[in-house]
């Protein structure tokens, strides 16, 4: 599955959608990522929020429940079906829309973007395009939080270096305010677990990067 995300954006869509159709995706853990919970507690989520590549909607639902103005977007129709089901089950009026993160047509004015495990699926040139696209939909001074799997330790998934984040979120469009090691919680397949010597059951904490980029306005 994860090797298959190293493909062009159009081919990637059915790969992701199939994972949701099979209800089998290592990133669907039924709860928000600890790093996102911590960002919220630290007051780093403000104003209009975009949860980009929202998947099963855990972060959109959590933040909507807390009273934030959040929109969850994903390009996979089945992801949005699952997200809407989850929101209904939990009685949360969360909003979801279809959007391609590399174009984001018709969206604007976001103050915070939560990217949990999206940036790392893109190839290098897509990462640059993505950062430019986000600049176009963000308000002045907006913050983008990127939680991406790290290549510092063995793991599963498309793991990246901190250099990839630094190269995409750079001047004149972005100032990188923070980039620190963190964790991304996942539910590995039996094959991934066996390969990495992980326990056969339970969620696993993968090494990740947590970056915060701030939109600069001297480039318009």
Ligand X SMILES: C[S@@+](CC[C@H](N)C(=O)[O-])C[C@H]1O[C@@H](n2cnc3c(N)ncnc32)[C@H](O)[C@@H]1O
Residues within the interface to ligand X (CB under 6 A): 9, 12, 16, 27, 53-55, 74-76, 79, 100-102, 116-118, 121
E strands of 80-169, at which residues?
A: 95-98, 110-116, 138-149
Residue-level length of the chain:
220
| CB nearer to ligand X: pick between 10 and 220 | 10
| CB nearer to ligand X: pick between 54 and 206 | 54
Please name the residues in contact with 24: beta carbons below 8 A apart, sequence gap of 6 or more: 189
Give CA–CA dist 62/66, Å, rounded: 6
Instruction: Show the tokens assigned to 76.
Output: 């996979």
Q: From the CB of 3, what's the least distance to ligand X, in Å?
A: 13
Contact by Cβ (8 Å): 9, 126:
yes
Give CA–CA dist 215/131, Å, rounded: 10
| CB nearer to ligand X: pick between 81 and 162 | 81
Q: From the CB of 101, what's the least distance to ligand X, in Å?
A: 3
Instruction: Show the tokens assigned to 193.
Output: 């677990």
| CB nearer to ligand X: pick between 79 and 146 | 79
Q: From the CB of 118, what's the least distance to ligand X, in Å?
A: 4
Q: From the CB of 218, what's the least distance to ligand X, in Å?
A: 28
| CB nearer to ligand X: pick between 183 and 216 | 183
Q: From the CB of 55, what's the least distance to ligand X, in Å?
A: 3
β partners of residue 213: 144, 176
């Amino acid at each position: 599955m994860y090797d298959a995300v190293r493909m062009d954006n159009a081919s990637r869509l059915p790969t992701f959608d199939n994972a949701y159709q099979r209800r089998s995706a290592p990133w669907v853990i039924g709860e928000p990522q600890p790093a996102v919970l911590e960002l919220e507690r630290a007051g780093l989520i403000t104003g209009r929020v975009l949860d980009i590549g929202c998947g099963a909607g855990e972060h959109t639902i959590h933040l909507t429940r807390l009273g934030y103005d959040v929109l969850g977007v994903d390009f996979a129709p089945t992801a949005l079906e699952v997200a809407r089901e989850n929101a209904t089950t939990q009685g949360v009026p969360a909003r979801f829309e279809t959007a391609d993160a590399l174009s984001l047509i018709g969206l604007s004015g976001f103050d915070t973007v939560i990217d949990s495990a999206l940036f790392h699926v893109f190839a290098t040139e897509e990462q640059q395009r993505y950062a430019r696209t986000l600049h176009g939909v963000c308000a002045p001074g907006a913050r983008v939080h990127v939680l991406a799997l790290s290549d510092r330790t063995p793991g599963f998934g498309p793991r990246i270096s901190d250099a990839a984040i630094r190269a995409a979120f750079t001047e004149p469009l972005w100032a990188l305010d923070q980039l620190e090691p963190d964790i991304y919680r996942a539910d590995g397949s039996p094959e991934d677990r066996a390969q990495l010597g992980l326990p056969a059951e339970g969620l696993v904490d993968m090494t990740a990067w947590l970056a915060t980029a701030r939109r600069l306005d001297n480039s318009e």
